[in-house]
Amino acid sequence: ILQQQMNEYKYHYLFTSFDLETYDLEDFKYNFVNITSFRLVDTADVGVKQILKDIGLYSHHIFKKPYLNLHFTKSTVLESEPALMFDSVYVFAIGLQTLEQSHSLTLSNISCEEENSWDGGLSLINYLNAVSSTTKQEITFY
């Protein structure tokens, strides 16, 4: 874009990267280039801030690292991949915990040779589908 001198006000770019803020866009800033991008993580959300605080406390207690107060500033970047991984694990934990409350979970030996499905599999899928983005639930580990 810079080599082609396409960094002027008359150009409009739509970036499909959800992590555009991780790139250096300084060359575009002062030329008034119109850039559109999307973000998956709402860094102003209270829940996101609480999760980052919990991660900092967890790292402090488990890994004996200095406590990091992970609060957002204008220079803080939270990439999409770790955020999506967190959401995936969180939804799975909520689904499994909900399944455990309604079913007696028994684990049987598995075989790579046979195609036996897990009895609780369909129920787990239904519980996973029932978890919504507004679900606020503590995850209890035993």
This prediction has a pTM of 0.64
In whole angstroms, give the CA distance from residue 114 to residue 128: 26
User: Looking at residue 66, what is its pLDDT?
Assistant: 65
**Annotated domain spans of the chain:** 8-38, 42-78, 80-142
In whole angstroms, give the CA distance from residue 130 to residue 91: 10
User: Looking at residue 92, what is its pLDDT?
Assistant: 92
Here the tokens at position 112 are 């790579």
One pLDDT digit (tens) per residue for the chain, 142 residues: 666 777 777 888 888 878 887 888 887 777 778 888 888 877 778 877 887 777 777 777 777 766 555 554 444 567 788 888 888 898 999 999 999 998 888 777 777 888 887 888 889 899 998 887 666 655 544 4
User: Looking at residue 75, what is its pLDDT?
Assistant: 46
In whole angstroms, give the CA distance from residue 19 to residue 40: 9
